[in-house]
């Protein structure tokens, strides 16, 4: 079974702090994704990566950056956390970019609260 592990289930940070959310997958998947999930808005794509050192902006990249130095690890960085970034962050990976192998495997999520 694919396992996607997110480093922290719950974090509380202060406005202006730099925040790192780490994600590791163990199935050699090419593609990795960061989504945030908010009530009434569903999952919204922040950034994704289809190869090491490659990244593409999703629908809401403002205020975020990412790093993919190794195939198995995809990090989400909040350079200066703000209260509107309080959310559930979900990391996911997939073997392919589309088709039946394109289904996403999600981590357990990291609930971030910015005070």
Q: Using CB under 8 A, pick the residue from 48, 64, 74, 89 that binds another protein.
A: 48
**In terms of Cα–Cα distance, which of 21, 4, 16 is closest to 112?**
21
- Shortest Cβ 15–another protein spacing (Å): 26
Q: Is residue 90 involved in binding another protein (CB under 8 A)? A: yes
Q: Using CB under 8 A, pick the residue from 42, 62, 69, 84 that binds another protein.
A: 42
Burial of 69 from C-beta contacts in 10 A (0-12 / 13-18 / 19+): exposed
Positions 9 through 38 that interact with another protein (CB under 8 A): 31, 33, 35
- Shortest Cβ 99–another protein spacing (Å): 7
Separation between Cα atoms, residue 31 and residue 72, nearest integer Å: 9
- Shortest Cβ 82–another protein spacing (Å): 23
Q: Judge whether 24 and 72 are in contact, CB under 8 Å.
A: yes
């Amino acid at each position: 079974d694919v396992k996607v592990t997110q480093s922290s289930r719950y974090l509380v940070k202060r406005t202006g702090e730099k925040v790192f959310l780490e994600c590791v997958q163990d199935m050699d998947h090419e593609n990795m994704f960061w989504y945030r999930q908010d009530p009434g808005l569903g999952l919204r794509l922040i950034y994704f990566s289809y190869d090491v050192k490659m990244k593409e902006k999703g629908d809401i990249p403002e205020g975020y950056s990412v790093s993919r130095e190794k195939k198995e690890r995809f990090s989400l960085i909040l350079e200066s956390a703000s209260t509107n970034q309080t959310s559930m962050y979900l990391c996911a990976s997939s073997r392919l970019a589309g088709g039946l192998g394109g289904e996403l495997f999600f981590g357990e999520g990291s609930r971030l609260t910015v005070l």
